[in-house]
Chain A
Amino acid sequence: MSNGNYKITDFVHIKDHRIFHGKDQVFKTEKSLGLDQFLKASYKKLEIAYPKFHKMDGLCKLGIVASEVLFKDHYISSDTALVFSNSVSSLETDKKHQQAMGRMVSPSIFVYTLPNIVLGEISIKHKLQSENVFFIENRFNAEFMRDYAEVLLEAKKTPAVVCGWIDLKNAEYDVFLCLISKKGEIPLSKENLKQLYLFENE
């Protein structure tokens, strides 16, 4: 399906207490920090200044931090589509809600028991009134992401796509988001997406 028109304009990684913008490490904390502390430190470091952040669950906080880094150097049209995926949906928050069910259920936990809420939070923060979709996959599926991004762009449903992987399972997180548009040097391909996803693990 590849036609070479589209590029991986920019990308961001968050994993193992580190944030990478492109191939540059922009932030790192001690490995001893828990997820919440790491996210709070990232929030401060990136000067996000968005008090709603503290109300979000882990998945949404990861999405907000990642989009903050990814959008920093670019004009993001309000029609930019969000196409995210992960392996376990909103499992971490699902477990919290499940525990609360025995006592008193918290509406502010329940509202995060859907994976696509992170798309909503990013849309609100960056005023994106665009196509959103959340896919569940066993692992990051570069071919599928390339295909769907191209489908949206070719169908003129959107001028740009933010796509990737945002997984949170047992406090382990793995985030890889890409901005796909006609700008940039790296051609959009399955191989390039896969390589960029894996790069940080090298």
Chain B
Amino acid sequence: MKKIYLLEDAIISPLGFSTEENLAAVKNKKSGLRFHKNNRFPSEGFFAGIIENQLLTEAFLKIGEPKKFTKLEQMMLLAVSRVLEKNPDLNLSKTALIISTTKGNIDLLTKSPFPENRVYLSELGNVIKDFFGFQLEPIVISNACISGGLALAVAKRFIIAGKFDQAIVVGGDLVSEFVLSGFHSFQAISTEPCRPFSKNRNGISLGEAAAAVLLSSKKPENPNIISLIGEASANDANHISGPSRTGEGLYKSIQNAWREAQISAKEIDYLSAHGTATAYNDEMEAVAFNRSGLGNVPMNSFKGYYGHTLGASALLESILTKYSLLNNELYASLNFDEIGVSKPLNVIEVFEKKELRFAMKTASGFGGCNLALVFKKE
């Protein structure tokens, strides 16, 4: 069977506008979460990872005219351009463009200088396609918080089936008043920077980011390479917003991804969890991981660094997982204090160098969706 390799990538976030800057920040336990004023909250604000408009505009000026694009478009275009700059010979007429987002330009629902149709996710696809001159119709995935990882799975499936040889997967979402007000009505926004899997966690922090990855079936000359060898998603069939108490869908996703990758729990060296820091999500994950025999595997959540970046999160975290494997580095699960779930987990508390070969990324989201990806260092 064909192998799918993760080649060039880029992360645009409050921690930097390249993968290198982001990795350096994560390694140094630097968080992008800051307090932002907002009178919706009794505490007069909330913690979130928000990209400074001015910094983004300055960076974007090098590739385009900022006024013509929304903030999210600038972030996603910048991410894709970083990947293309390093692959100038990429044949765009044969490269698929796969986009993941939950709410796209949803802030355009209110008055904006942009045409009305710009709020549609398909239009977001067209904007990115036209900016770079991709020839294939963009594939847009909007599947709640697993979107970014599901986009990788969809790319892999199409490449293996021979539909195309390579794809650029780009994910992005904003911290919008739309989403913020909704999570606030769920009483799910943390009063401090989120603390995944901790006893004192009290909800999520939101974040904004764009991430892009080039996937290909062509093995590059560089022997240091990561492949996506297994993936699966499964619905809980339990509740549209409450995670399953038995972690059924996540458990099933993990088992199915392993079956495809032909590996088992004992081979997994590192686990990048979803870890949103809500009471129910983290507990559900702990249950599913223990059912899968992963209770001792070093694991973390990157939400303490970025917040929950929604449709970008599973993609962004897959990129970080890739570098964990490549660099043999385990990054600390930021803001973790004391274990706060009913099942044992091996949460990474301090940065560590360790020989790593197989890693897994998982995600879960509204609608009862779950996803597991298995990565291998070749």
Contacts and interface: CB of A to CB of B under 8 A. Distances in A.
In the complex, A touching B (Cβ < 8 A): yes
Interface of A: 1, 78, 82, 87-89, 91, 94-95, 97-98, 101, 105-107, 110-111, 113-117, 119-121, 123-124, 126-138, 141, 144, 147-148, 150-152, 154-155, 157
A88 B120 contact: yes
Interface residues of B, number: 52
Nearest to A87: B122
A111 B238 contact: no
Main secondary structure of the interface of A (DSSP, over half): mixed
Contacts of A87: 120, 122
Q: Which of B106, B177, B235 has the most CB of A within 10 A?
A: B235
Nearest to B161: A151
A138 B139 CA distance: 11
B163 interface: yes
Contacts of B234: 129-131
Contacts of A98: 109-110, 178
A101 B178 contact: yes
B235 A119 contact: yes
A107 B185 CA distance: 5
A87 to B, nearest CB: 6
Contact of A129 (B137, B143, B184, B237): B237
Contacts of B237: 78, 123-124, 126-129
A135 B120 contact: no
Given A137-B140, A138-B122, A151-B163, A117 B235 contact: no
Across the A-B interface, the 7 shortest Cβ-Cβ residue pairs: A120-B367, A110-B182, A136-B140, A123-B235, A105-B185, A136-B121, A120-B368
B161 A133 contact: no
Interface of B: 102-104, 106, 109-110, 119-122, 125, 137, 139-144, 150, 154, 157-158, 160-163, 177-178, 181-182, 184-186, 232-241, 248-249, 252, 256, 365-369
Contacts of B367: 114, 116-117, 119-120, 132
A126 to B, nearest CB: 8
B152 to A, nearest CB: 12
A133 B141 CA distance: 7
Contacts of A134: 141-143
Contacts of B144: 114, 116-117
Given A89-B120, A147-B158, A110 B185 contact: yes
15 contacts: A94-B106, A116-B142, A119-B369, A124-B238, A127-B237, A129-B235, A135-B139, A135-B140, A136-B120, A141-B137, A144-B137, A151-B160, A154-B161, A157-B157, A157-B232
